[in-house]
Chains A and B, each alone.
Chain A
Amino acid sequence: MDLILEGIVTAFQLLWALDPEVLGITWLSLKVSGLATIISVVIGISVGMIVALTRFPGKKFVVSVVNTGMGLPPVVVGLFVTVFLWRNGPFGFLDILYTPTAIIIAQAVIATPIVMGISIAALQNLPSKLRLQILSLGATRLQMVGILVREARLPLMAAVMAGFGGVISEVGASIMVGGNIKGYSRVLTTATVMETGKGEFAVAFALSIILLMLVFFVNYLFTLIQQRERPR
């Protein structure tokens, strides 16, 4: 119990003192995972929409691949991204291994199937005749897509939350492709792993609490957006 209490106290001390290192780590976590989420939302929802709304041979196979991707182990993604960005690898010339950019790429790869899979389910869950109804109201294709997204806004926001939740809490890929370099590519999760390894439990607790609070506040914001304008 003492350990936990000490951790909570340390966490508030670090926050209260605006410890520049901790603030830097927190800010980087938010920035990296936020960007990765944005990328995954753009790709996941648009591709998910195409998959959900069109008919093509092998659709079931594509959907099951996407659904499998929702459970993609971060270390596997980390391994592949590392190999691709390795000096001799196909994208080695970019020279971005062990940078925050590499973490963004790896996290986007993890989050995209999550967002896409939930988006497909969300859009397929709408009544099949709804599209015909929207077209018969005189909508253009673009207006139809807009209305469908609005109709599926609750599960689509859930997709965004799941994507963000998946990457902000992920550690394997971040360590592998980011390298946990102090003041450069260290994020909350990688720092927690390191501090725990060193036996600095109080600091590790502090970082964990900050991570939890961060996840809570971001999801609270998303939830506010999700639940607004619901008529009674």
Chain B
Amino acid sequence: MSDTNAIISVEDLKVRLGGVSILDIPSFSVRQGEFLSLIGPNGSGKSTFLLVLNSLLKPVSGRLIYRGEPVTGRDEAFRYRRKVSMVFQEPLLFDTTVYKNVASGLKIRGLKRDEIRERVMRYLGWFNIEHLAQRSARKLSGGEAQRTSLARAFAMEPEVIFLDEPFSALDPPTRHAITDDLDRIVSETGITTIMVTHDQSEALRMSDRIAVMHDGGIVQVGVPSLVMNNPVNEFVANFVGMDTILVGNVIRVVDGMATVLVSGKEIDAFGNAGSGDCVYCCIRPENVTIELTDPDDLTSARNTFPAVIRDISSIGPFLKVILDCGFSLTAFVTREAFAVLDLKEGKNVYASFKATAVHLIRDAKHP
């Protein structure tokens, strides 16, 4: 591998199940000390990939390489598994006390009693569950159980930790509290972490890099801003939450500014496209502004369209407004702005977004 910082890498990885290819990754590597998130829809192979990386699933072909050494035979796989650890979506705790659960990996490794005690207490403290030490694992709340599971995995002080959607079953406040603690512990220890998640905000907040998976392959890997702002294809754009994706044809390109014809309207966008190309215009809802009068702003290249409000729904701190400007456009509006503008369904407004806020993706299938 060219990446000399790689702690784990895979080459020509293929996994089949009942004759169907479920994983096909020609090359991928994880760097020492990084936090990498694997995102993608259900069935894209994220969890399967994590099992292969943890040597719990043997691929039909390809190699798993740890610090330059291939993990091939059963003995190597066993030794490798003692250097990494995994937390699943379900806490999978043993039917005993929290203390003994956290101690289990250390006991398996044959550590001395005193050493186990010292480490267990330290990690119980890190995850703020010391007070639960003697509690039965069966009597924990969802958050407490997942904290115990995390403490059990971290107590082994592995080189790499794998997290398979560890927070997806938790309610938002619990989830935030745990991710805060995890974030702190991961950055303090500098442990290499690979996390599968559905939650993009979680991935954005915690990751050094994000890998997007689709149909058993990795379609894009990069720093979060790259993946979010420059998705390589329509699938990634859709998945990472570019709520508006418009299909159109480039009618002219002047000084790097492309004009795209979408449903009879012209949208200006900066991007790498040639005249006549079929393109996807990706517009993030937070970049769309709504005004009551035509801003008529000629200073910056702006797209402004008269629009009718079709739908308003609440998502967290924002309101999601779906506009009809001849094409459908989604905008996020703060509650304050919503009140000031007195928005309601059916109201006529002006929607605008900068030319730089439009991300162009060339449609490879229909050039």
Q: Which residues from chain A sit less than 8 Å from chain B, CB to CB?
A: 127, 129-130, 132-133, 135-140, 143, 147, 150-151, 229-232
- Find A129's partner among B88, B95, B135, B156 (CB 8 Å cutoff): B88
Known: A129-B88, A143-B108. A135 touches B81 (CB 8 A): yes
Contact for B95 among A133, A136, A139, A151, CB less than 8 A = A151
User: Do A139 and B86 touch across chains, with their CB atoms under 8 A apart?
Assistant: no
Decide: A133 near B82, CB < 8 A? Known: A138-B108, A138-B109, A231-B135: no
Q: In the bound complex, do residue B108 and residue A137 qualify as a contact, i.e. CB atoms below 8 Å apart?
A: yes
- Contact in complex: A232, B136 (CB < 8 Å): yes
Q: Which one, B90, B137, B156, contacts A137 given CB within 8 A?
A: B156
A135 touches B56 (CB 8 A): yes
Point out the residues of chain A lying under 8 angstroms from B54, CB to CB.
136
Kindly state the separation between the CA atoms of A129 and B90 in the bound complex, as whole angstroms. Answer: 9
Q: Given A129-B92, A130-B92, A147-B94, answer yes or no on A137-B136 (Cβ-Cβ < 8 Å).
A: no
B33 part of interface (Cβ distance < 8 Å): no
Q: Specify which chain B residues have a CB less than 8 angstroms from the CB of A129 in the assembled complex.
A: 88, 90, 92
Complex interface bits, B71-114 against A, C-beta within 8 A gives 1, otherwise 0: 00000001001101110101010111100000011001100000
- Known contacts A143-B108, A231-B135: A137-B78 contact under CB 8 Å: no
Contact residues, B290-333 vs A (CB, 8 A): none
**24 examples of A-B residue contacts, CB within 8 angstroms:** A129-B90, A129-B92, A132-B86, A133-B92, A135-B81, A136-B81, A136-B84, A136-B85, A136-B162, A137-B104, A137-B108, A137-B152, A137-B156, A138-B78, A138-B85, A138-B108, A138-B109, A139-B108, A147-B104, A150-B94, A150-B95, A151-B94, A230-B136, A231-B96
Within 8 Å CB of A136, what residues of B?
54, 56, 81, 84-86, 162
Find chain A residues with CB under 8 A from B139 CB.
232
Complex-state Cα separation, A231 to B134, whole angstroms: 7
Q: Is B221 an interface residue (CB 8 A)?
A: no
| Complex Cα–Cα for A61 and B314 (A) | 54
Interface centre among A127, A129, A147, A231 (most CB of B within 10 A): A231
B327 to chain A, nearest CB (A): 45
Q: From residue B106, how far is it (CB to closest CB) to chain A in Å?
A: 9
- Encoded as 1 (CB less than 8 Å from any A CB) or 0, chain B from 27 to 58 comes to 00000000000000000000000010010100
Select one of A132, A139, A229 contacting B51, CB under 8 A. A132
| Across-interface contacts of A151 in B (CB, < 8 A) | 94-95
Q: Select the residue from A136, A140, A150, A230 with max chain B CB neighbours within 10 A.
A: A136
A132 CA to B162 CA, complexed, in Å: 13
Give A131's nearest chain B residue, CB to CB.
B56
| Bound: A26/B333 CA distance, A | 84
